[in-house]
């Protein structure tokens, strides 16, 4: 069936590449942003890509764009953030099938037990067993208040409801979810220091310690170094603290990218020159900074193919969902046809 699908839909594919975006290869209890792919599904997706497409490394694709030699049915694979499961789970599968990938790593959490701020916020507001009934917090000059009413206790039914919530495409299904979205939206534009200050206040309100779940940690320095030493894979830039760049000055943006670049150079021995914008967020100042730092290319989260006429500082990507290979193959062909 997949062979027939590929042969029929692949006849008139344009000379453009499809860059795939992954974040996690894991089976978390909750995945509200739909960024985790089950290892079994991931392996089947990689098998399909290996058999049915031409998988280029990101540097090879960037070179093809520069030389206007992008071919049809070409795919590149990327990972964002630097979760440990990229090294522990994704790398062995990629290695087994000799499929290259680029890992865009935010350096702040590398070698620490700290969770990314969005994971910790989710763990507190959505899945804390018990929360106070009233919430009130001043975030970036906006007062956020909420009454959790019957949701102070995390019942089994509420937990299941929140575990199955798709926060990107569905309205908040509960008071906890509504509060989470409000706080998340206010925290995202802030600096790392401001985010941590607010998280500290939220932890105190919830009477919780900092989240340090092993399954949510970033790579260790040793894991990053081993990944970078692979001849198959490459490490890319993803800023130091994962800010939404367009909300910050050009000076802050440059500091974030340069600090990330310096960290990765020191710990891997390589000089990364390709950036993925955190959240895909950027502006003209970001592009000017990227040019000043002599970056070769930058990736967004815009859903678009990469071709000869693509802006090298605004290359598109497609987020891969946790789908079995049949659904993945159909989705890939839709993306490829533009």
Q: Could you read off the pLDDT of 216-246 as tens digits, one per residue?
A: 999 999 999 999 999 999 999 999 999 999 9
DSSP 229: T
**Residues 184-190, mean pLDDT to the nearest whole number:** 98
Q: Could you read off the pLDDT of 8-38 as tens digits, one per residue?
A: 444 568 899 999 999 999 999 999 999 999 9
Q: Could you read off the pLDDT of 63-88 as tens digits, one per residue?
A: 999 999 999 999 999 999 999 999 99
Directed axis angle between helix 39-52 and helix 325-337, to 10°?
A: 50
Q: Give me the pLDDT at residue 8, please.
A: 46
Q: Give me the pLDDT at residue 13, please.
A: 80
Q: Tokens 């098998």 identify what position? A: 47
pTM for the predicted model, two decimal places: 0.95
Tokens coding 62: 């960037």
Pairing verdict, β 134-139 and 142-147: antiparallel
328, 48 in Cβ contact below 8 A? yes
Residue 141: how many other CB atoms lie within 10 Å: 6
What is the pLDDT confidence band of residue 307, given thresholds at 50, 70 and 90? very high
pLDDT at 51 over 90: yes
Tokens coding 33: 């942003």
């Amino acid at each position: 069936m997949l062979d027939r699908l590929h042969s029929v839909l692949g006849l008139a594919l344009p000379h453009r590449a499809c860059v795939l975006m992954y974040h996690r290869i894991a089976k978390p209890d909750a995945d509200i942003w739909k960024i985790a792919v089950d290892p079994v599904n991931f392996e089947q997706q990689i098998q399909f890509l290996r058999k049915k497409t031409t998988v280029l490394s990101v540097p090879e694709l960037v070179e093809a764009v520069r030389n206007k030699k992008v071919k049809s049915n070409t795919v590149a694979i990327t990972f964002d953030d630097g979760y440990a499961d990229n090294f522990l789970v994704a790398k062995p599968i990629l290695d087994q099938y000799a499929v290259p990938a680029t890992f865009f790593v935010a350096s702040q959490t590398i070698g620490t037990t700290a969770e990314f701020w969005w994971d910790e916020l989710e763990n507190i507001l959505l899945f804390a067993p018990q929360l106070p009934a009233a919430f009130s917090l001043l975030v970036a000059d906006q007062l956020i208040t909420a009454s959790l009413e019957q949701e102070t206790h995390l019942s089994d039914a509420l937990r299941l409801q929140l575990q199955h919530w798709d926060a990107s495409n569905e309205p908040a299904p509960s008071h906890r979810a509504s509060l989470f979205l409000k706080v998340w939206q206010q925290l995202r534009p802030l600096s790392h220091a401001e985010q941590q200050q607010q998280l500290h206040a939220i932890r105190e309100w919830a009477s919780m310690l900092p989240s340090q779940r092993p399954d949510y940690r970033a790579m260790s320095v040793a894991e990053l170094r081993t990944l970078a030493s692979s001849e198959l894979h490459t490490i890319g830039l993803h800023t130091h603290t994962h800010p939404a760049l367009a909300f910050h000055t050009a000076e802050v943006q440059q500091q974030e990218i340069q600090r990330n670049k310096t960290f990765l150079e020191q710990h891997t021995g390589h000089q990364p020159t390709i950036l993925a914008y955190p959240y895909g967020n950027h502006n003209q100042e970001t592009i000017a900074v990227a040019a000043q730092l002599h970056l070769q290319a930058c990736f967004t989260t815009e859903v678009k193919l990469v071709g000869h006429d693509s802006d090298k500082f605004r290359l598109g990507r497609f987020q891969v969902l946790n789908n079995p290979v049949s659904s993945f193959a159909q989705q890939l062909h839709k993306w490829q046809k533009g």
